[in-house]
Amino acid sequence: MNADYIIIGAGSAGCAMAYRLSEDGKHKVLVVEYGGTDWGPFIQMPGALSYPMNMKRYDWGYQSEPEPHLGGRRLAAPRGKVIGGSSSINGMVYVRGHARDYDTWAEKGAQGWSGADVMPYFKRQENWDASGHGGDPEVRGNSGPLHVQRGSRENPLTHAFVEAGRQAGYQVTEDYNGTQQEGFGPMDQTVHKGQRWSAANAYLKPALKRPNVELVKGHANRVVIEQGRAIGVEITQGGKVTTLRANREIIVSASAFNSPALLMRSGIGPAAHLREHGIEVVADRAGVGQNLMDHLELYIQVKSLQPVTLFKYWNLIGKGYVGAKWLLTGKGPGASNQFESAAFIRSRAGIEYPDIQYHFLPMAVRYDGQAAAEGHGFQAHVGPMRSTSRGAVTLNSADPAKAPKILFNYMSKEQDWEDFRTCIRLTREIFAQDAFEPYNGGEIQPGAAVQTDEELNGFIKEHAESAYHPCGTCKMGAADDPMAVVDPECRVIGVEGLRVADSSIFPSIPNGNLNAPSIMVGEKASDHILGRTPLPASNLQPWIHPNWQNSQR
- DSSP labels, 270-321: -HHHHHHTTPPPSEE-TTTT-SBB--EEEEEEEEESSS-SGGGG-SHHHHHH
366, pLDDT greater than 90: no
131 confidence band (pLDDT: 50, 70, 90): confident
1 confidence band (pLDDT: 50, 70, 90): confident
* Architecture label for domain 152-186+296-384+412-463: 2-Layer Sandwich (3.30)
What is the pLDDT at residue 130? 78
Q: Is 29 helix (H, G, I), strand (E, B) or coil?
A: strand
Annotated binding residues for FAD, as ranges? 82, 90-93
Task: Please write the tens of the pLDDT for every residue from 203-258.
Answer: 999 999 999 999 999 999 999 999 999 999 999 999 999 999 999 999 999 999 99
Bridge partners, 93 (sequence order): 189
367, pLDDT greater than 70: no
**Which residues does 547 contact at the CB level (< 8 Å), separation at least 6?**
none
| 552: amino acid identity, one letter | Q
Sign of the Cα torsion 122, 126, 129, 130 reads positive
| Closest-CA residue to 344 (of 514, 185, 542, 189) | 185
Mean pLDDT of 113-133: 92
Task: Please write the tens of the pLDDT for every residue from 289-330.
Answer: 999 999 999 999 999 999 999 999 988 999 999 999 999 999
**Which residues does 321 contact at the CB level (< 8 Å), separation at least 6?**
313
Determine if the peptide bond prior to 446 is cis (ω within 30°). Answer: yes
What is the pLDDT at residue 405? 98
Q: Around Cβ 59, how many Cβ atoms within 10 Å?
A: 21
Report the C-alpha gap between 305 and 283 in whole angstroms: 61
Q: Burial letters for 379-401: b for 16+ Cβ neighbours within 10 Å, e otherwise?
A: bbbbbbbbbebbbbbbbeeeebe
| Fold category of 1-59+77-151+190-289+474-532 in CATH | FAD/NAD(P)-binding domain (3.50.50)
368, pLDDT greater than 90: no
Name the DSSP letter for residue 200: I
User: Which residue intervals of the chain bear CATH 3.30.410.40?
Assistant: 152-186+296-384+412-463
Sign of the Cα torsion 180, 164, 168, 355 reads negative
372 confidence band (pLDDT: 50, 70, 90): confident
Q: What's the chain's average pLDDT?
A: 96
138 confidence band (pLDDT: 50, 70, 90): confident
Cβ atoms of 43 and 90 within 8 Å: the answer is: no
Reported pTM: 0.98
Q: Please tell me the total number of residues recorded for the chain in this structure.
A: 553
Name the DSSP letter for residue 80: B
Mean pLDDT of 54-71: 96
Report the C-alpha gap between 490 and 499 in whole angstroms: 5
Half-sphere exposure of 421 (CA within 13 A, CB side): 14
Half-sphere exposure of 450 (CA within 13 A, CB side): 18
What is the pLDDT at residue 29? 98
How many helices (H) and strands (E) the chain has is answered by 13, 25
Determine if the peptide bond prior to 270 is cis (ω within 30°). Answer: no
530, pLDDT greater than 90: yes
Cβ atoms of 227 and 24 within 8 Å: the answer is: no
| Closest-CA residue to 504 (of 282, 230, 268) | 268
Report the C-alpha gap between 98 and 150 in whole angstroms: 19
Task: Please write the tens of the pLDDT for every residue from 381-399.
Answer: 999 999 999 999 999 999 9
365 confidence band (pLDDT: 50, 70, 90): confident
Report the C-alpha gap between 343 and 166 in whole angstroms: 11
Report the C-alpha gap between 17 and 501 in whole angstroms: 9
Report the C-alpha gap between 473 and 471 in whole angstroms: 6
Q: Which of 381, 469, 528, 545 is catalytic?
A: 469
Mean pLDDT of 340-368: 94
Mean pLDDT of 175-179: 95
Q: Burial letters for 482-499: b for 16+ Cβ neighbours within 10 Å, e otherwise?
A: eebbbbbbbbbbebebbb
Integer-rounded Cα radius of gyration of the chain: 22
What is the pLDDT at residue 133? 74
Q: At what angle do helices 99-107 and 115-125 cross, to 10 degrees?
A: 130
129, pLDDT greater than 90: no
542, pLDDT greater than 90: yes
Report the C-alpha gap between 14 and 501 in whole angstroms: 8
Annotated binding residues, as ranges? 82, 90-93
- Angle formed at CA 181 by CA 179 and CA 184, multiple of 5 degrees: 130
| 254: amino acid identity, one letter | A
What is the pLDDT at residue 137? 80
DSSP string, 404-459: PEEE--TT-SHHHHHHHHHHHHHHHHHHTSGGGTTTEEEEEES-TT--SHHHHHHH
| Closest-CA residue to 342 (of 293, 292, 297) | 297
User: Which residue intervals of the chain bear CATH 3.50.50.60?
Assistant: 1-59+77-151+190-289+474-532
Cβ atoms of 298 and 376 within 8 Å: the answer is: no
Active site residue 528: no
Task: Please write the tens of the pLDDT for every residue from 438-477.
Answer: 999 999 999 999 999 999 999 999 999 999 999 999 999 9
Mean pLDDT of 363-378: 80
Q: In this structure, what is the dihedral angle of CA atoms 252, 255, 258, 262, given to the nearest 10 degrees?
A: 10
| Closest-CA residue to 335 (of 171, 142, 92) | 92
Cβ atoms of 298 and 382 within 8 Å: the answer is: yes
- Angle formed at CA 280 by CA 279 and CA 283, multiple of 5 degrees: 110
Q: Is 432 exposed, middle or buried (0-12, 13-18, 19+ CB in 10 A)?
A: middle
